[in-house]
Structure 1
Amino acid sequence: MAYNQFSLRKAVRDFDLKVVEVENFLPPIEPIMPSHLLSETLKQNVPWAAVGSEKARSEGIINPVLLELRRLLPGQVSVFSGEEFNVDPSRELTGYCDFLVSKSPEQLFIEAPAIIVVEAKKADISTGLGQCAAEVVAAQIFNKQNGLCGSPVFGSVSNGTQWRFLKLEEQTLTINLLDHTLPPVDTILGVLVWLLQSR
């Protein structure tokens, strides 16, 4: 079974997770000004992608935002799009992640630690929480398999203009109930950089 077959209820049950719902688990974070390239890209893409398909939102909004991380953290992160991430078939942790960000410069294959998983959805982002939860569990297992234990793995479900963040620490899945919105993108960039640097 692929990640996209998981509901939140199934992920919580199958992986024995404790869910904590909070307004916002993130501390106050300084916004980061985007590059001119990202600003212009989003200026062109957001009006088109926001009313388009899931693929349009993924390619037109989410991907440019995540690629900006490589500019902000040169030589420190890699961004994977649509990469197969088969971690544990016995637990149904197989399939493709829309986006995965690793704190490693390696771009030819996913290298630990996998820090952030972003799942793109067209409409109601709540429907993607189960899939994202299964993917952060897989990322946690992947990190442990590679000798990296104890640090949180983060996820986000986004339709491009709304981003809902979650965090997995051991068996506790903390889910924000409030979404971060784009525009402006500077707040989202600040959050993403903080997630990568909080290990």
Structure 2
Amino acid sequence: MSYSDFTLPSVLKAFDLKCSEIPNLFSEVEPLEPSKFLRDALEDNLILALGSNTEKSRSELIITPILLELRKQFNKKISFFSGVNFTIDSARGLNGNCDFLISGSEELLFIKYPVIAIVEAKKEDLIAGLGQCLAEMIAAQIFNEREIQPISSILGTVTSGTNWRFLRLQNEQVDIDLTEYYLSDLDKILGILANGISCGMGILPVTD
């Protein structure tokens, strides 16, 4: 068993989690204005990504530029890993690769505490990806706890690049935002991601 084998019901049962489904969970989060560079990049990349319409093209041409922008907004004080093996507890099914993992560390060669957010890429059917994303978030929680410095929450998102769904894990409680965000909400998407990092690290993004 691995992360990709989990469904939302199975991961909730396996790890005895409580789940709340909340509309506009992140309504109080302030939007974060994207740079002109990011807007231009997405405008150029979008046709290519949607034309080939594969998970890989969407990851490379839409999701990665957004995460690079996020790293820049935090003055490169964070790092993200793409397609990295994140095996934490094989006996419990917490093994396999993460599409994207955000760490609150400047270390680029290996994953270092704290793991703050998980980004799971899906070409379609975002709801079906919630279980896999949550399993990876639980692994991140365990990884942080092993450092004897657990952080208060782990942010997760399942995204096709054009559509984004968010969830948050705090101890044994998972909250799922019923709101779906689109690229037209890019500033809100960046704001939610930045808020998750700020909560985990206690720092704010650098703005002009």
Q: Does 1:48 align with 2:58?
A: no
One-letter identity of the residue aligned with 1:53: T
TM norm structure 1: 0.95
CA contact (8 A) 2:181 2:189 kept: yes
Aligned to 1:97: 98
Q: Does 1:157 align with 2:140?
A: no
Deviations, residues 80-112 of structure 1 (Å, cap 9, x unaligned): 100100111121100000000011111111111
Per the TM alignment, residue 124 of structure 1 is displaced from its structure 2 partner at its CA by: 1.1
Aligned to 1:20: 20
Per the TM alignment, residue 29 of structure 1 is displaced from its structure 2 partner at its CA by: 2.6
TM norm structure 2: 0.91
Deviates more, 1:174-183 or 1:49-58: 49-58
CA contact (8 A) 2:116 2:155 kept: yes
Aligned to 1:122: 123
Q: Does 1:4 align with 2:4?
A: yes
Give the secondary structure class of the aligned counterpart of 2:184. Answer: coil
Distance in 1 (CA, whole Å) between partners of 2:59 and 2:132 is 16
Identity level (%): 45
One-letter identity of the residue aligned with 1:22: I
CA contact (8 A) 2:2 2:90 kept: no
Per the TM alignment, residue 41 of structure 1 is displaced from its structure 2 partner at its CA by: 1.1
Distance in 1 (CA, whole Å) between partners of 2:68 and 2:134 is 23
Aligned to 1:66: 67
CA contact (8 A) 2:114 2:151 kept: no
Give the secondary structure class of the aligned counterpart of 1:194. Answer: helix
One-letter identity of the residue aligned with 2:143: F
Q: Does 1:81 align with 2:76?
A: no
Per the TM alignment, residue 27 of structure 1 is displaced from its structure 2 partner at its CA by: 4.1
Give the secondary structure class of the aligned counterpart of 2:127. Answer: helix
Distance in 2 (CA, whole Å) between partners of 1:150 and 1:77 is 15
CA contact (8 A) 1:120 1:157 kept: yes
Per the TM alignment, residue 57 of structure 1 is displaced from its structure 2 partner at its CA by: 1.0
- Equivalent runs, 1:129-144 vs 2, <5 Å: 129-144=130-145
One-letter identity of the residue aligned with 2:195: W
Distance in 1 (CA, whole Å) between partners of 2:66 and 2:76 is 17
Runs of 4+ in 1 over 3 A off after TM superposition: none
Distance in 1 (CA, whole Å) between partners of 2:26 and 2:185 is 18
Give the secondary structure class of the aligned counterpart of 1:80. Answer: strand
Deviations, residues 122-170 of structure 1 (Å, cap 9, x unaligned): 1110010010010000000000011122510110000111111001111
Give the secondary structure class of the aligned counterpart of 2:189. Answer: helix
CA contact (8 A) 1:78 1:103 kept: yes
Distance in 1 (CA, whole Å) between partners of 2:102 and 2:199 is 14
- Computed over aligned residues only, the root mean square deviation of the Cα atoms, in angstroms, reads 1.3
